[in-house]
Amino acid sequence: MFPFVLLPLIIFLSSVIAHEHQANRRLPSPTWHHSLDHSLSYLFRREDPDDDGVEYPDVGSPEWTSKYPNGPPNPTQMPSAWMNRLKAAVAAGKIPAIPVSSGPANTNPTYPPGHDPTSHEICSATYKCRIDGDIWDSPSNIFGLGFDDGPLPPSGKLYDFLMQNNEVATNFVIGLNIRQNPDMFLRAYREGHDLAVHTYTHPHMTTQTNEQVVAELGWSMQIIHDSAGGRVPKYWRPPYGDTDLRVSAIAREVFGLTCIIWNHDTEDWSLTSNGTTLQAIQNSMTQWLTGPKEPGLIILEHELSDQSVQAFLNAYPLIKSNGWTIKSVVQTANDTNPSPYHNAPNTLDGPVPVEDILPPQPQSKTSTSSTVSSTTSTDSHSSVLTASTITSSSPHASTTAAHANSAFSIGTHLIAAATWSSTGVVLTYFLLSCF
């Protein structure tokens, strides 16, 4: 009688675990901590919770929230490790001495007289200049799936749809939006979407000083790292597509970040201001999706509003019916290790050697620089954020997400030990055999 009483419970547990396995379909099983003498640890130190005795705050808790700026980050309050890397890169002549651009909000930034933004000395993406090696096309036949400006309340509808259709996207997230919408961020992370940097407060990056660029990128990376089990992003997208040789060099030399832009713009950011319509976007998508498949598509889309999410939902059947292969944007990168994270496990080569990505730095942290990335279009949507009081924070913040990730890691190893089927028959047989 006992096995017959146990059988319904076993089947129920099998379905629950199988669902969890599917929900976390892209999360790898190894832990994401790096050793304390690792190059990454100099920038984003993730303490060993078994050794340091620190209780890491839950994502979304007041203690967690207090660790991150509540507006544009103050460059004088960022971790010294970031500043040291910037100083080393400048001293080595790796950061071009390009003047900071300026201009009113919602307009393209301009450079001082005598500085041509399309010249080889500046190469501004806002003015369609393409930095050699930057990513703005997908490979042939590939639709690169990604969304800007999350996490936000409308993101939930998007994540529902992606889960239902077993699709994985790149979320180019804004650091302050993570701080303000932690539950939605955790959902993107736990459902296996790729996390990339979209700065902390969404400014035109060429209008920022060298130190401000570092702060905007660094704090976005820090809050992602602390809230997603220690992951360190290796891709970024500049707000409005605004970067130049100076900004891209800082992103690359200080943080090893590769830039991803786009080759088509839906302008869906302007749906809420009557700048475009759902029908106009559908017409453009029809043209692009029924056209040539060389090069592949990276289309600028947003999880900014219910309307922008709906624009993607409307176009999705066209993507599928026209034979496009859908991949997360960062998975389309021409990269020997296409993971979205510097410290991702590589099943062939082991952990990514970050020392081979980041440039030489003080304190005997050595590495070499990576290839710079690209840009050709501009995104003119306005920032959804407002400045407010800045809260100082420690670069050593972490979260209990690491513990949750470790627990899931154990679960996935157990799952791998059984051959899964929709009915859980194999697992049932294994457990019953124990009685």
Give CA 117 to chain center in angstroms.
Answer: 28
d(CA 179, CA 69): 9
Contact 386, 71 (CB under 8 A): yes
Rounded CA gap, 81 and 254, in Å?
10
Residue with tokens 């913040």: 397
Within its chain, how far is the Cα of 33 from the centroid?
A: 18
The helix or strand, by DSSP H or E, that contains position 97, with its residue range, turns out to be none
Whether the bond into 151 is cis, omega within 30 of 0: yes
Straight-line distance from the first to the last Cα atom of the chain, in angstroms, rounded to the nearest whole number: 11
Q: H-helix or E-strand containing 266?
A: none
d(CA 281, CA 265): 9
Residue 408 φ/ψ, nearest 5 degrees: -65, -35
Longest dimension (CA), the chain: 88
Between the alpha carbon of residue 160 and those of residues 130, 167, 182, 313, 408, the distances in Å are 35, 10, 17, 11, 21
Catalytic residue selected from 134, 137, 148, 149: 148
Known catalytic residue at 302 = yes
**H-type helices in 94-154, by residue range?**
none
Phi, psi dihedrals of residue 316, rounded to the nearest 5°: -55, -45
Q: Which of 201, 212, 225, 228 lies closest to 394 in space, CA to CA? A: 225
Q: Does residue 148 carry a catalytic annotation? A: yes
- Residue of 202, 204, 302, 342 with catalytic role: 302
Residue in 305, 68, 58, 44 with CA at minimum distance from that of residue 180: 68
Please tell me the distance from the alpha carbon of residue 129 to that of residue 121, in angstroms, as a whole number. Answer: 11
Identify the three-state secondary structure at position 265: strand
Q: Chain centroid to CA 85: how far?
A: 22
Nearest residue to 48 (alpha-carbon basis) of 28, 33, 59: 33
> Whole-angstrom Cα distance, residue 216 to residue 199?
5
By annotation, the residues acting in catalysis are 148, 302
